Amino acid sequence: MKRNATAVWNGSLKEGAGKLTTQSTTLSDTQYSFKSRFEEGVGTNPEELI
């Protein structure tokens, strides 16, 4: 089984933000940021799907 997702990042590394959408739309425009990826910020990140 193969599933797809998209992750889009806008802005600079630390001040920017991204949105994540899965093929099933279980996650739809789910926001993530530098803090949620690399620090203790609230939210998710694309790596959690792997």
Over residues 23-49, the pLDDT tens digits come to: 999 889 988 888 877 887 666 666 776
Q: How many CB atoms lie within 10 A of CB 34?
A: 18
- Give the range of the structural domain holding residue 16, as residue numbers without chain letter: 1-32
In the chain, the number of structural domains is: 1
Residue 27 has a pLDDT of 87
Structure token digits, residue 41: 């910020």
pLDDT at 28: 93
Cβ-based neighbour number of residue 48 at 10 Å: 12
Q: Is 17 inside a domain boundary?
A: yes
Flag whether 13 is in a domain. yes
